[in-house]
Amino acid sequence: MSRFPFLTLALFLIASSVWNGCTTSRVIENTRVPEITLDEFGVITFNNKRLEPGKIAEAVRAAGFKREQEVNILIPDNPDRALMRSVSIELLQSGYTRTIFVKNRKASANVPKPR
Q: How confident is the model at residue 109 (pLDDT cuts 50, 70, 90)?
A: confident
pTM of the predicted protein model: 0.62
Query: What pLDDT is stored for residue 27 in this prediction?
Result: 46
Question: Residues 85-112: what's their mean pLDDT?
Answer: 87
CB 30 within 8 A of CB 64: no
Nearest to 60 by CA among 98, 27, 21: 98
Strands 36-38 and 71-74: parallel
CB atoms inside a 10 Å sphere around CB 115: 3
pLDDT band at 19 (very low <50, low <70, confident <90, very high): low
Tell which wins on pLDDT, 109 or 63: 63
Arithmetic mean of pLDDT over the chain = 81
Domain boundaries, the chain: 36-102
